[in-house]
Amino acid sequence: MKALISVSDKTGIVELARDLHALGVGLISTGGTAKLLAEQGLPVTEVAEVTGFPEMLDGRVKTLHPKVHGGLLARRDTPEHMAALKAHNIDTIDLLIVNLYPFEATVAKPGCTLADAIENIDIGGPAMVRSAAKNWKDVGIVTDASQYPAVMAELKANGKLSDKLRFALSVAAFNRISQYDGAISNYLSSVNFEAEKLSEEYVPERAQFSGQFNEQYVKVQDLRYGENSHQQAAWYRDLAPAAGSLATGIQLQGKELSYNNIADADAAWECVKSFDTGANGDLSQSAACVIVKHANPCGVAVGANPLEAYSKAFQTDPTSAFGGIIAFNRPVDKSTAEAVSKQFVEVLMAPDFSAEALDVFKSKVNVRLMKIALPANYGDVRNALETKRVGSGLLLQSADNHELALADLKIVTVKQPTPEELHDLLFAWKVAKFVKSNAIVFCKNGMTMGVGAGQMSRLDSARIASIKADAAKLSLQNTVVASDAFFPFRDGLDVVVEAGATCVVQPGGSMRDQEVIDAANERGVAMVFTGVRHFRH
C-alpha cells in the first residue's frame, strides 16, 4: 500500500505519516512535505524519483505526470488498466493526502495583489484530488486534517478503508474542489482588468459583487417541511459560520426546529445582538429581550437584568407573544426561566442557561432551548451580505449594518429632544431596523409600546401600532416614534402625535420634508433626521 502526501497546511501530518509508516504503508511526497518527513526520520520517496522528472517552474509542475495520475486513476478490477500500469512501470497509489494552496486565506490578507493570488492557485493538487476522488472505489482521498483520525482508525482496525468511508471522503473532496474553484472564480471575476494596476491591493469589499457569484453551504439538517407542510426544506450554514450566529447554536432540548422556527429565530437573534455596546449611555450594561412572531418583533425591551427585560417586552403585545420566539443577549437565570415558562414559547435563545433555569424547562419537553455563545465583540460580528431568491435569479446586497449614534442625529424642529427621549429614539431606531416595512415603532423607557409592521401604507402601520398598544393597555402618551422611512406627507406624523408621541425619528429625504417639519413645529413635538432608512422586505 502506498500513500502520496502533499500538503500546504502541515498540521498533524508528521503524526499521520508515522502512523502510516508503522502500518507498513510506503510514503511518497513532494517538496517541502518530503523534506519535513525526512527530517523527522521517516523513509519517504520524493515524487521526482517516482516520475523520473524533477519539479520545475518554481514548483508549478511536479505531480502532473502519468506515473502519478495513472497510479491514482487505474481501476484495480479492470485487467486492461492493470496491464497498462505494468507495461509502463506505474505503481498504484492507494491513499492520497492533499490540502491545497491557501488561496482563500491569501486573498483575505490586507495588501494581497493579483500576483499573490495567482501564485496561490493550486493546479497539481486539485488535479490529483479529482483523480483520486473519481476512483474512490480503489483510492482514499484525504483533504482535511479533521479526517485523519477516522482514516487511521479504519486502517488500524481493518488494514484498509471501507467503501462507505472512501465514498464519504470522495464526496468531501469534490466539495472542497467546488469551494476552492468558487473562491477563485469570485476573486478573478471581481478584478477590473487594467494592466497598469494589476499589482494593486485586492479589496474584498469590491469583490462582493463579482462577475460571477459562487457560494457554498453545508447542510445542517433536513427539516420536516418548509413554511407549509406541502413544501420540502433543509437548513444550511456557511462554510465558516461567524461566531455568535444562529448557525453556531446548540439545541439543548425540545422538538426539532422547523423552517419557520429557524427563520423567526434568526430575526430575534440578530435583533437582540444589536443591544451590545456602551456608545449610547444606558444601553451599555443592559440586558435585552426580543420576542418575535412571524418574522417581526412584537416586543423588545432592555432592563437591568433578563427578567426585567422580558417582563417589559412581554407587556408590549401579550397576544402576539403567544407561541413566539424569545431571545436574550444575557444568560437566562432561574427567575427569568420561571417567568417565560408560564407562557407558550416555541424557541428560547440565550448565550447560556443556568443549571436552575434548565431544571425549570425539564417538564416543558417541547420547548426548544438554544444556547448560542456570544464573543466579546458580538455586536461587530455580522453578515456581510444578504441574498434573496427571485425568479431564476438572486438579489445580493451588503447587509444593513448601519449603526446610529447620538452625533448622527440632525434635530430639525424648534423643540429639542430631552436626554431621555434621545436614548429612547436610539432604542426605537434599533428596533425599527428589524421590523418589516412599512415600520412604525412607539417606545418609552427602553421598551416597545406599540409596533406596526409590514403594511402597504405607513399610515396603516401607525394606526395598527396604536391599536396594539390599546389592546395591551399601554399608554402612548409621551412616547417616541421611529419610522423606518420618511413621512411622504404630514398625515403620518399627525397620526403618531395624536396617539401621544412627543418625539419622532425618521430618515428624512422626502420632497415634502419641510411640510412635515412645519407640522411637527405646529404640533409642538421634536423631530430628528437620521439620513439613513431601514427598509426591510
Task: Say whether pLDDT at 521 is over 60.
Answer: yes
**Pair 187, 319 in one domain:** no
**Pair 348, 432 in one domain:** no
Give the separation between CA 265 and CA 292, rounded to whole angstroms. Answer: 8
Within a domain: 401: no
Within a domain: 317: yes
**Pair 361, 447 in one domain:** no
The pLDDT value recorded for residue 200 is 52
**Pair 122, 258 in one domain:** no
The pLDDT value recorded for residue 283 is 43
Q: What angle do CA 172, 49, 36 make, to 5 degrees?
A: 60
Task: Say whether pLDDT at 284 is over 50.
Answer: no
Give the separation between CA 351 and CA 341, rounded to whole angstroms. Answer: 18
Measuring CA to CA, how many Å separate 211 from each of 133, 175, 206, 387? 29, 22, 11, 16
pLDDT in tens, 400-410: 888 888 889 99
The pLDDT value recorded for residue 237 is 93
Listed in sequence order, the residues at least 6 apart from 470 whose beta carbon sits closer than 8 Å to its beta carbon are none
Within a domain: 519: yes
212 vs 454, residue with greater confidence: 454
**Domain boundary pick from 194, 229, 262:** 194
**Pair 59, 118 in one domain:** yes
Is position 294 annotated as part of the catalytic site?
yes
**Pair 364, 443 in one domain:** no
For residue 437, give the amino acid letter.
S
Helices 13-22, 31-39: crossing angle, 10 deg rounding: 70
Catalytic residue among 21, 160, 294, 364: 294
Task: Say whether pLDDT at 203 is over 60.
Answer: no
- Judge whether 202 and 183 are in contact, CB under 8 Å: no
**Pair 410, 346 in one domain:** no
**Domain boundary pick from 161, 194, 227:** 194
Task: Say whether pLDDT at 206 is over 70.
Answer: no
Reply yes or no: is the peptide bond before residue 383 cis, omega within 30 of 0. Answer: no
- Judge whether 367 and 343 are in contact, CB under 8 Å: no
**Pair 451, 508 in one domain:** yes
SS (H, E, C) 171-207: HHHHHHHHHHHHHHHHHHCCCCCCHHHCCCECCHHHH
Give the separation between CA 210 and CA 386, rounded to whole angstroms. Answer: 15
Question: In this structure, what are the phi and psi dihedrals at residue 417, rounded to the nearest 5 degrees?
Answer: -65, 145
Is position 342 annotated as part of the catalytic site?
no
pLDDT in tens, 437-482: 999 999 999 999 999 998 999 999 999 999 999 999 999 999 999 9
**Domain boundary pick from 328, 351, 374:** 374
pLDDT in tens, 73-102: 999 999 999 899 899 989 999 999 999 999
- Judge whether 31 and 96 are in contact, CB under 8 Å: no
Q: What is the mean pLDDT of residues 12-30?
A: 92
Rg of the chain taking only CA atoms, in angstroms? 30
Q: What residue has cell string 508549478?
A: 60
Q: What is the mean pLDDT of residues 224-242?
A: 92
Within a domain: 228: no
Mean pLDDT of all residues belonging to the chain: 90
Within a domain: 364: yes
Task: Say whether pLDDT at 282 is over 60.
Answer: no
Q: What is the mean pLDDT of residues 218-228?
A: 93
**Pair 363, 449 in one domain:** no
Task: Say whether pLDDT at 498 is over 80.
Answer: yes
Q: What is the mean pLDDT of residues 203-218?
A: 71
Measuring CA to CA, how many Å separate 285 from each of 41, 117, 282, 288, 433? 57, 44, 7, 10, 21
The pLDDT value recorded for residue 245 is 92
When mean pLDDT is compared across 86-95, 110-119, 313-322, 381-390, the lowest value belongs to: 381-390
The pLDDT value recorded for residue 145 is 93
Give the three cell numbers for residue 282. Answer: 444606558
Give the three cell numbers for residue 305. Answer: 437584568
Give the separation between CA 104 and CA 98, rounded to whole angstroms. Answer: 16
| Residue 486's CATH number | 3.40.140.20
Within a domain: 400: no
Measuring CA to CA, how many Å separate 368 from each of 34, 60, 386, 436? 51, 52, 26, 25
403 vs 379, residue with greater confidence: 403
Catalytic residue among 134, 255, 334, 364: 134
**Where does the pLDDT of residue 537 fall: very low under 50, low under 70, confident under 90, or very high at 90 and above?**
confident
Task: Say whether pLDDT at 373 is over 90.
Answer: yes
Q: In total, how many domains does the chain have?
A: 3
Within a domain: 140: yes
For the entire predicted model, the pTM comes to 0.85
Within a domain: 212: no
What's 153's DSSP letter? H
What's 71's DSSP letter? H
**Which of 123, 30, 125, 128 minimizes the C-alpha distance to 71?**
128
Instruction: Please give the residue range of the domain that contains residue 147.
Output: 2-194
Q: How many residues are listed for the chain in this entry?
A: 537
H or E stretch including 376? none
**Pair 22, 152 in one domain:** yes
Q: What is the mean pLDDT of residues 514-537?
A: 94
**Pair 258, 313 in one domain:** yes
The pLDDT value recorded for residue 280 is 42
The pLDDT value recorded for residue 198 is 52
**Pair 367, 493 in one domain:** no
The pLDDT value recorded for residue 208 is 61
